[in-house]
Amino acid sequence: MLYDLIIIGAGPAGLTAAIYAGRSLMNTLLIEKMAVGGRILLSEKIENYPGFPEGILTSELISRMLKQVSGLGVKIDSDEVVDIDCQKKTVKTSSNNYSAKTIIIATGARPRKLQVIGEDKYIGRGVSYCATCDAPFYKGKNVVIVGGGNAVAQEALYLTRFATSVRIIHRRQDLRAAEILQQRILKDEKIKFTLDSVVTEILGENKVSAVKVKNVLNGAEEKIACDGVFIYIGYQPETTFLKGKLELDQAGFILAGEDLSTTVEGVFVCGDCRKKTLYQVINACGDGAIAADSAYKYISK
């Protein structure tokens, strides 16, 4: 079957693209290798999505989006894309081959690693990239969080429900989290700070027991005892399979125009895998709407 549109990735951006494509009566296939919703499901709750002043559980928001997509007749395939020919608009998954008139890349991004000694060794034994997933394992224990953005503040507050203490380690003096989140963590007695510092090594025997930290201003080093390390230092785009097929920046993010068209005609991008200045659910959804509209206009020429 020749589809009007194939969307690769069913996070908020891909789901929104599917909604707009379905409403435009485009014959659409949505492919997702993980659970529908993608990595946003690693966050328990979204507090800054318009229309939900009390916030909304991430699982509930994704469930509502999926209900919309399903009601519009969009086909959903749970599979992994292993190859793509952007010029011919063909997509190969682990079990099928598909063709389309247009393609939208909405593959998102994965957590970036610290790349320090001990990190890989202790993944699952004290090193985590998801407090929502692993916080219950640290009831009554001491943990550290590395980073300074919104995710760090949100997950630190979540961890205080379980851990005895939560220490935020950030390479700068000032955090990058939204002011309202900074106010919350500054008021929480369980949350401490080690600023102007970086983690240089994760220590332990069978599991994490401490982190080695270096002050970036004076070079002083110290060990901070802890039972777990949660890492939030940004994301790496899921675009490895696109190298040599689309124009990417040095970090691997897809470059796109205002209409979210890529360097290959008929191929569009949306969400966290594209180069932009803000990575949030709300603008991922905006991306999805624009990309689907651009794909519709492309096949309607």
Q: Is residue 227 part of a domain?
A: yes
Q: Which residues, 6+ apart, have CB-to-CB distance to 17 below 8 Å?
A: 7, 104, 106, 270, 287, 288, 289, 291, 292, 295
Distance (Å, whole) CA 57 – CA 62: 9
What's residue 39's pLDDT?
Answer: 84
CB atoms within 10 A of CB 300: 9
Is 17 a residue whose pLDDT tops 80?
A: yes
Helix (H) / strand (E) containing 257: none
Whether residue 258 is found in the same domain as residue 278: yes
Q: Which amino acid is at 52?
A: F
Residue 258: band (very low, low, confident or very high) from pLDDT cuts 50, 70, 90: very high
Q: Say yes or no: 13 and 106 in one domain.
A: yes
Check whether residue 132 and residue 280 sit in a common domain. Answer: no
**Are 96 and 180 within one domain?**
no
Residue 218 lies in a domain: yes
Residue 118 counted as domain residue: no
The domain total for the chain is 2
> In the predicted model, is pLDDT for residue 128 greater than 80?
yes
Instruction: Please name the amino acid found at residue 240.
Output: T
As annotated, the active-site residues are 130, 133-134
Report pLDDT digits (tens) over 269-280: 999 999 888 888
Q: Please tell me whether residues 26 and 58 are part of one structural domain.
A: yes
At 48 the pLDDT is 86
Residue 234 has pLDDT above 90, yes or no: no
The chain-wide mean pLDDT, for the chain, equals 95
End-to-end CA distance of the chain: 21
The reply to whether 255 and 267 lie within a common domain is: yes
Do 292 and 254 share a domain, yes or no?
A: yes
Q: How far apart are CA 256 and CA 253, in angstroms?
A: 10
Residue 76 sits in the same domain as residue 212: no
pTM, whole model, 2 decimals? 0.81
Q: What is the pLDDT of residue 106?
A: 98
Regarding whether 54 and 34 lie in a shared domain, the answer is: yes
- 96 in any annotated domain: yes
Same domain, 148 and 209: yes
**Residue 47 placed within a domain:** yes
Are residues 242 and 293 located together in one domain of the fold?
yes
The phi-psi region of residue 131 (left if phi > 0; otherwise alpha if psi is between -120 and 50; otherwise beta) is alpha
Give the structural domain span for 221.
127-231
Split at pLDDT 50, 70, 90, the class of 37 is: very high
100/90 Cα distance (integer angstroms): 6
Rounded alpha-carbon distances, angstroms, from residue 70 to 22, 29, 76, 294: 9, 11, 8, 22
Bridge partners (DSSP) of residue 223 are 212
CATH number of domain containing 161: 3.50.50.60
- pLDDT at residue 276 in the model: 87
Domain endpoint, select from 213, 231, 249: 231
Residues 7, 101 within the same domain: yes
Taking only the tens place, the pLDDT of each residue in 43-92 is 788 888 999 999 999 999 999 999 999 999 999 999 999 999 999 999 99
98 part of a folded domain? yes
Q: What is the pLDDT of residue 65?
A: 97
What's the whole-number mean pLDDT along residues 131-150? 93
Spell out the residues 6+ positions from residue 260 whose beta carbon is closer than 8 angstroms to its own: 268, 269, 270, 274, 287, 290, 291, 294
pLDDT tens digits for range 156-200: 999 999 999 999 999 999 999 999 999 999 999 999 999 999 999
pLDDT for the residue 157: 95
Under DSSP, the state recorded for 261 is B
pLDDT at residue 130, rounded to an integer: 86
* Residue at a domain's end among 187, 211, 231: 231
Domain end position, chosen among 210, 231, 252: 231
pLDDT at 24 over 80: yes
Token duo for residue 85 = 């020919």
Task: Specify if 7 maps to a domain.
Answer: yes
Would residue 122 count as lying in a domain? no
pLDDT at 301 over 90: no
Task: Find how far residue 101's CA is from the centre of its chain.
Answer: 28
